[in-house]
Chain A
């Protein structure tokens, strides 16, 4: 592999690894705060037990997220120094603000995790709420920077150099809103369903366990709302991407020929040489409706753009199908949850088939999140900053990038294995019988 390819693989591996922990860091604090809030309101020790156990899991995942995020902040320069030399002064603002959001997140997570017996209940709960809010703020700011890479704005390019820089305009480039909303929602969906799957699996063995029921109630309530909002946000994304990143839209839809009343293609295999997508289920007018809310609207195809600005069509189209497919599946599970909960008088459904469905869909959220990230990153190729700087121009002149690639990849694999083992151990210690939590603390059974 060339050094450019190693650089791309190293950045991709680092981000694919970090993004999981980052998403957990956004959503998990909300869940643990909701559990603690219920405990403070009701005094029921099950909620306290849940909040404390979730806090432990959050501590492990957040630490890995913090250090892997540090790697990325350095890798921006280590791998793409020419991109940072150009983009730093333009998109430094969201990164700076993210730095302060991360500061508050780390400070109040410390107070939350280690302060159970040290601070007042009110301050403890408030600290958790600040962690949840600043986690979402971090995701918000960092996604703004990515939105700029997809659709650079706020400067003029003169002879390869940026002039007339306006960091405020650059902070909110065209299309920022959809990406930010979509990313933040995805953190809640992915984390909620992953956690729900674990507790649903435990409930299948022990259906009266109040601990797991309480857990499922919190995560599926948040997860269901987020999973149902996500298709709406996706629709918003489709329209903004059609307006701001037409090449990416064409690639992710496998859409080669500009046409009015363009069909929506579900599945299929794009053939770049033949400029057509085969074996897809075509829904007439579907793409025009989704992209412009008008069945007769014209949707630009890839052939309208020079071949050397096409992203890799096959993987982008495939990743997009995976994201939408899994997102639809999760929305369906969310509907099922709401219907069952409503018919059961707003109690957590413990129907075994429903629990199986939740357990099976546990990885779907994170797979969809990774697929969506691939869509936006691969869909931007061959550029690092679309239309401004190609990835091949941004890469470092440092040779032998295979070495750092293998070093960090082995570290990530190793950390991944350890985190899974640690979380398994935490879950294995969850209370087995319904009142174990209370009994363990000697509060009666």
Chain B
């Protein structure tokens, strides 16, 4: 199935536009090229609006504007109505046309107010006899579900800007959901399994009326099942929370990739500053110690000849017993005061007194000198000691200074590194990202722990269900009156088991098919074929991209490679779903580096040989290399341009 034509009237920028995607080559490849604001993404929105009634890719600017084209609004008379219409004409592989049409009526009340008066959606198709039929309401929606089911539309109409985020967002939960949708398992679960279960419950209730034991076992079974359901519901909630948390952790992880860990860096910086201060203080103290040593010991060393001379004089005087002084001045003064000799007792005459007085004078001088020399003795000894230790002390201080200086240099360098790492970043925002990531890591861990407990509880609840199931079966067998009912119950039970195992088998088979097909597509499309070894879609639907060296590498591949994997997965889902619908990608190479653009263009070209591929480019994206490679292979090229008043987009065919 392919889109043959899109017709737009009064839809946002498109007052009147028609794009026909006619296939002219082996490739069914079409380009729509438009600068930002010309309505490129709104073309994607128009298709979504037509088919599903919503506009998932609407920009913030467009959200402020009415659906009805502004020029049309301007030209409308007050009180009059006008309609927005989008038609998507599709063509089946048998050449039949199915047209999806959505119209919305608006009324103008005054220059500022227009109101939405109603929407009509219909699908035009041909029946087996070739008669044109129109489907509306639920029937119309069924036709849409046959074209591209709403639940999996994101695999058909998507935004290239988000493609490389695809697997970050598409965790196991999303992929399981996709596989679930594609396998149409919901039909089996909702229609068959649930109805069988309801019938089974009714039959058991009926049987319960015949015997209190049966009723007792039935009630217990029902309660055990309710408990099991409750646990399963909680497990689902837990898994959803884990999925959401994992997405968020990955999202913030992406934002923080290459961004410094501000919190840790600031902590380290704080420690460094403290250490810097302490080291500077220690260094300062040692430098001060060194200065003191230089001054004090320096004086001693410079005065060493004088100190040596003084030491010699003191030692000589000591040797000659000149110090301490030989005569006690106090003794002579007492003799003079008493006027008698204290040794022989003779009285002092004038001549003796004169002699004693002269002796006191002499002693006075020699005593002062001797006293000074005695006082010098200890300091001179200390000077000798200090001079002897100077070298060792100075070397020790210098060693310490060198060590502190080295530490200081290292710390300062680290501080500068941190400052340069932190420079240019919005620290507040980064801190917020770290906090958010930590919050979701906590949420993930909490739910994982809870999930562990719930899985154990589930086992217990399953055991209880099994036990009461057996109990009920035993009671039913004992009761003759319910033999007929027992057979019906047994049949229903088997049928429920078959439906359940069929569902699981289909899910498994679909998953395996998607895995094989993703692998096949990826290794066919990827240009670095030797780099990757395998792709696995695990039981929990998480995707692993295995490097040829054997490790998981999805998180570290380039945007181009991730986009390639997303595209391969999408193609695999297309294959598995059986929906041969077109692929429409807005800004397909937005996240791909120049060097890989040509490779990606080749891939898209190959894809377009299998299915219709419509690419919406900005002029920048539609670069020389893209144009060179794809230009000649495109069936159609359409240029979107705004009119001079910027209220209308026109489509030019190139």
Judge: A and B partners, yes or no: no
Could you tell me which A residues sit within 8 Å of B by CB distance? none
Could you tell me which B residues sit within 8 Å of A by CB distance? none
